[in-house]
């Protein structure tokens, strides 16, 4: 079989790439060894959000009296929560199947391996294309000191489908995956301890955001150990024991399960990269601005490349890649304007430079901050934890960064992304009338604070 484009992998990078290729008139096929939608739809972004929604609803029930309501003996059914999450994932995967049919994309099931001459072998059957796009994604990374057995030491995949809720859990790593699961299991009643190697939780975020999340989590009963490292585990007993090295010495923690959330590992093994001669550096396939590898006709997008490992980044890269192949005039992706979202409670959303990064660049900046405790909508909703923080260049008014923590902020960050894309200034944001009462007006108020014009603080 000969195609214009074959996409290897059907995650949010792969399937979006295939659809855009089909829209541009290319005869397109997609190769998938498991489920359409990849990790994101089946074991990542979507099912975790379903779990987190159940946790949020349960939290509301537990605090119903705060809203003048009475709910007697609110209980949760852990297995039913997991079942709902799987149902949501299955529905989304079926949706991708529909999109493949609608766009006349051939779905080739099986494990694909790259061959020279722009060919792919799928379980013994060979397919060729003018262009092959690698979108094989990533999986949970394993540390030598923390080998995963899938039972007592698990990754994110097992964390979504545990047959029984653990009484005690240790979460190693406090990136997005770690803090989301920490919030979920804590809300369900599990005793959770987070162990983070770096001095702050969610270490890629602005330090003010990290400190706020730590306060909120501690208030919820989550134990947090920063500047700490799991050096040894013992799974010989009924549960698991973890030896943790801290600034104060060693401490042994006991739990039913350890969740390893220490990052991801690119899926680049055994897919034929060496056979074709595609260059890899430090677990990533090297590509140019439009995702061409060093071998003509072979491209790579998403988690297997050096950009941010985020679903929306993979999708954007795939679209750019096929539009470039089609001969369209496209601009290279601006990786400095990629929003990051974390869906624990309170939520976190950010884009651009942190305050520390701006200062390290030697920039003269204006910083504004507006707490949700001063927001009418946040007070009415009972969600006063958190704030919006903005960073502007003092001379030109360029919007350098925006950092949010609070209820619903993942739905608010797009304003900053769009504003930065359109090169808006602080004064323009300030003069754009924001609706009241909303959570989003906190953006305007934070900008006003940066320019010493804040009204409600």
pLDDT in tens, 199-257: 999 999 999 999 999 999 999 999 999 999 999 999 998 999 999 999 999 999 999 99
For helices 176-188 and 45-62, give the axis angle rounded to 10 degrees.
Answer: 40
Please check whether residues 9 and 127 belong to one and the same domain.
yes
Local structure of 30: helix, strand or coil:
strand
Catalytic residues: 436
Q: Are 242 and 231 in contact (CB under 8 A)?
A: no
For β-strands 387-393 and 365-371, DSSP reports them as antiparallel
352-402 tens-digit pLDDT: 999 999 999 999 999 999 999 999 999 999 999 999 999 999 999 999 999
Report phi then psi at 151, rounded to 5.
Answer: -125, -60
Q: Would you say 263 is a known binding-site residue?
A: yes
Other Cβ atoms closer than 10 A to 65? 9
Domain assignment present for 145: no
Is 174 annotated as ligand-binding? yes
Paired residues of 258 in beta bridges = 153, 170
Q: How far apart are CA 446 and CA 438, in angstroms?
A: 14
Domain that holds residue 379: 346-450
Question: What residues are paired with 195 via a beta bridge?
Answer: 172, 225
Asked whether residue 230 is marked as a ligand-binding residue, the answer is no
Please give the average per-residue pLDDT across 115-131, as a whole number. Answer: 96
Non-local (6+) Cβ contacts of 322 within 8 A are 5, 17, 20, 21, 24, 26, 133
For residues 312 and 324, what is the distance between their CA atoms, to the nearest angstrom?
A: 18
Q: Where a domain ends, among 212, 228, 259?
A: 259
Residue pair 354/405 in contact by the 8 Å Cβ criterion: no
CA distances from 373 to 24, 348, 379, 454 (A): 49, 16, 7, 15
Is residue 45 pLDDT above 90, yes or no? no
Backbone dihedral angles phi then psi of residue 144, each to the nearest 5 degrees = -55, -35
148 in a structural domain: no
Report whether 83 belongs to an annotated binding site. no
Please say whether the dihedral angle defined by the alpha carbons of residues 306, 308, 310 and 315, taken in this order, is positive or negative: negative
Same domain, 328 and 352: no
Are 325 and 219 contained in the same domain? no
Is 269 found in the same domain as 254?
no
Given 314, 335, 356, the domain boundary residue is: 335
What CATH number has the domain bearing residue 384? 3.30.390.30
Q: What is the pLDDT of residue 35?
A: 86
Distance CA 408, CA 372 (A): 11
Do the domain assignments include residue 340?
A: no
Element (H, E) at 285: strand 284-285
The domain spanning residue 252 has which CATH number? 3.50.50.60
- Please tell me whether 336 is known to bind a ligand: no
Query: Does 107 score more than 90 pLDDT?
Result: yes
Q: Is the pTM of this model over 0.85?
A: yes
Question: What sections of 284-425 are H helices per DSSP?
Answer: 311-325, 355-360, 376-381, 414-421
**147 in a structural domain:** no
3-state secondary structure of 250: strand
| Cα(177)–Cα(162) distance, integer angstroms | 16
Helices 45-62 and 78-102 meet at what angle, rounded to 10? 140
Give the whole-angstrom CA distance, residue 399 versus residue 283: 33
Same domain? 21 vs 165: no
307 assigned ligand-binding residue = no
Residue 11, marked binder: no
Alpha carbons 454 and 444: distance in angstroms, whole number: 9
Is residue 346 reached through a cis peptide bond, with omega within 30 degrees of 0 on the bond before it?
Answer: yes
Instruction: Give residue-wise pLDDT tens across range 306-343.
Output: 989 999 999 999 999 999 999 999 999 999 999 999 99
Q: Are residues 130 and 272 in the same domain?
A: yes
Phi-psi region of 433 (alpha: psi -120 to 50; beta: other; left: phi over 0): beta
One domain for residues 205 and 273: no
Q: Looking at the predicted structure, is the pLDDT value of residue 191 above 90? A: yes
The structural domain count of the chain equals 3
- Confidence (pLDDT) at 276: 97
Boundary residue ending a domain (273, 304, 335): 335
């Amino acid at each position: 079989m000969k195609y214009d484009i074959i996409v290897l992998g059907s995650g949010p990078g792969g399937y979006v790439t295939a659809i855009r290729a089909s829209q541009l008139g290319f005869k397109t096929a997609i190769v998938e060894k498991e489920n359409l939608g990849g990790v994101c739809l089946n074991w990542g972004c979507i099912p975790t959000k379903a779990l987190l929604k159940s946790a949020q609803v349960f939290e509301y029930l537990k605090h119903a009296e705060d809203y003048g309501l009475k709910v007697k003996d609110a209980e949760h059914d852990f297995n039913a929560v997991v079942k709902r999450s799987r149902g949501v994932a299955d529905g989304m995967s079926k949706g991708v199947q529909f999109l493949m049919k609608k766009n006349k994309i051939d779905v080739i099931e099986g494990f694909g391996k790259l061959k020279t001459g722009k060919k792919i072998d799928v379980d013994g059957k060979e397919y060729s294309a003018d262009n092959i796009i690698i979108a094989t994604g990533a999986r949970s990374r394993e540390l030598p000191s923390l080998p995963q057995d899938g039972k007592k030491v698990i990754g994110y995949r097992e964390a979504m489908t545990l047959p029984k809720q653990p009484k005690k859990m240790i979460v190693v790593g406090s990136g997005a995956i770690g803090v989301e699961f920490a919030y979920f299991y804590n809300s369900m009643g599990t005793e959770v301890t987070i162990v983070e190697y770096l001095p702050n939780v969610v270490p890629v975020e602005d330090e003010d955001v990290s400190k706020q999340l730590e306060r909120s989590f501690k208030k919820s009963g989550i134990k947090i150990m920063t500047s700490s490292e799991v050096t040894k585990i013992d799974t010989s007993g009924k549960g698991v024991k973890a030896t943790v090295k801290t600034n104060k010495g060693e401490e042994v923690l006991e739990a039913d399960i350890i969740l390893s959330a220490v990052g991801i590992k690119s899926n680049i093994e055994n897919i034929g990269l060496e056979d074709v001669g595609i260059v890899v550096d430090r677990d990533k396939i090297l590509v140019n601005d439009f995702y061409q590898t060093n071998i003509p006709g072979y491209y790579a997008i998403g988690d297997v490349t050096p950009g941010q490992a985020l679903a929306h980044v993979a999708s954007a890269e795939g679209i750019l890649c096929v539009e470039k192949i089609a001969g369209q005039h496209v601009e290279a992706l601006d990786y400095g304007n990629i929003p990051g979202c974390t869906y624990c409670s309170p939520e976190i959303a950010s884009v651009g430079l942190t305050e520390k990064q701006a200062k390290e660049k030697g920039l003269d900046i204006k910083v504004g901050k507006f707490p949700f405790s001063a927001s009418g909508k946040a007070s009415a909703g009972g969600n006063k934890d958190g704030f919006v923080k903005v960073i502007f260049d003092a001379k030109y008014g360029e919007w350098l960064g925006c950092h949010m923590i609070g209820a619903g902020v993942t739905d608010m960050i797009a304003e900053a992304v769009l504003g930065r894309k359109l090169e808006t200034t602080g004064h323009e944001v300030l003069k754009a009338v924001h609706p009241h009462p909303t959570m989003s007006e906190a953006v305007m108020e934070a900008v006003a604070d940066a320019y010493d014009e804040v009204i409600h603080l």
